Amino acid sequence: MEEIVEKKYFVFAHPPDRLQLELGGQIGPVTIAYETYGKLNKKKNNAILILHALSGDAHAAGFHKGENKPGWWNDMIGPNKAFDTTRYFVICSNVLGGCKGSTGPSSINPETKKAYGSSFPLITIRDMVNCQKHLIDYLEIEKLLCVAGGSMGGMQVLAWMTDFPEKIKSAIPISTALHHSAQQIAFNEVGREAIMADPNWRNGNYYGYSIPSSGLAIARMIGHITYMSDISMTRKFGRMKYKNGSSKFHADFEVEKYLHYRGNSFVKRFDANSYLYITKAMDMFDALETQEKVNSLKKFKGDVLVIAFKSDWLYPPYQSKEIVKVCKQAGINVSYCEIESSYGHDAFLIEVEGQTLLIKNFLNRIYSGTEK
């Protein structure tokens, strides 16, 4: 999409009607930053909600004024793209707990006039989805044509399916899991530990002081290794040497330089506390943890397209197959596609061609069966 887009803000849950959180906390008012692309039709039945991953935000497509970097899924959202904005009204919002316009630990608590910091309550994937439901209500959309997203975005798709099964016509969970495995939790925990071990973290109350940049950079470095695959790293870096001469131990290899670059640039755009809260929400998520959720899923009468990528070892295809299995068990019409790719978990952001045809045809079928 070449268009200039704008971030919008939806504010709700004004005290005393605060938002009730799944784990017992309360918060309000809540701001949700969002963007929309394309036009909502008269019947309001062409709306698609896109859900972002851990470090994503509401800016999924198009360009912000004066910027030359498009939204994070610009290759997938736009005229004639997978999510075709000439047909569909596409919405993307920043998650609760985030740091890109939605209420999160770095937001100012109106009661104290200071950043929430560690007083921010623990949030869950279902809380994020609950906020999106409020946004959809506010936009007066009765039923979404589709919810779609990769990685943590896919977890939100699953939460939509179990928590608001009657509010969606279809769902596309990509490169995701019903719940995190021990290995996925472990990688997140090491990242959290790196942040919390940084003396600048100050128990989460670092706003106005130096930020825990080295801890957050380390967390992101770990993340990036898990987002790529062994083979994609070999192809991109191999054992290419790089010598910066700044220290005995630093960056002899290009891959090290790359990780440092990615770590350091992440620090400039992401909040360390958001990283803690959001990764914890991911680890705690379990789509079908209770019988209530299992029963709830059976109320979903729409179609599901599950997409996984062969070289994704962070969210391996077997986890997507588990999603397919529980959908089948719930009597849901589900199809599964495993795309050949060497890009690892990053594939859902990179493999545009492979996903486009699948998603385009899937949406076309769903939308064609919709009363216009």
Rounded Cα–Cα distance for residues 25 and 7 (Å): 28
Q: Are 62 and 5 in contact (CB under 8 A)?
A: yes
Rounded Cα–Cα distance for residues 278 and 184 (Å): 14
CA 111 to chain centre: 29
Using CB under 8 A as the binding rule, the residues of this chain from 119 to 178 that contact its own copies are 122
Choice among 55, 102, 107, 151 that is catalytic: 151
- Part in contact with its own copies (CB under 8 A); list of ranges 35-43, 132-140, 282-290, 332-340: 282-290
Rounded Cα–Cα distance for residues 134 and 30 (Å): 10
Q: How far is CA 210 from CA 202, 213, 237, 352, in A?
A: 10, 8, 33, 39
261 lies in the site for its own copies, by CB under 8 A: no
Binding string to its own copies for residues 219 to 248, with x set by CB under 8 A, is what? --xx-xx--x-x--xx-xxxx-------xx
Rounded Cα–Cα distance for residues 351 and 77 (Å): 13
- Least Å distance between CB 163 and its own copies? 20
260 lies in the site for its own copies, by CB under 8 A: yes
CB of 170 or CB of 341, closer to its own copies: 341
Choice among 52, 274, 345, 346 that is catalytic: 345
Cβ-based neighbours of 124, under 8 Å, separated by 6 or more: 21, 22, 23, 281, 284, 285
Cβ-based neighbours of 198, under 8 Å, separated by 6 or more: 212, 213, 214, 215, 216, 272
210 lies in the site for its own copies, by CB under 8 A: no
- Taken in order 198, 155, 102, 131, the sign of the CA dihedral is negative
Interacting residue with its own copies among 41, 313, 324, 338 (CB under 8 A) = 313
256 lies in the site for its own copies, by CB under 8 A: yes
Choice among 57, 84, 271, 312 that is catalytic: 312
Return the active site residues.
151, 312, 345
The binding site for its own copies (CB under 8 A) comprises 118, 122, 179-183, 185-187, 189-190, 192-194, 196-199, 214-215, 217-218, 221-222, 224-225, 228, 230, 233-234, 236-239, 247-253, 255-256, 259-260, 263, 276, 280, 283-284, 286, 313, 316
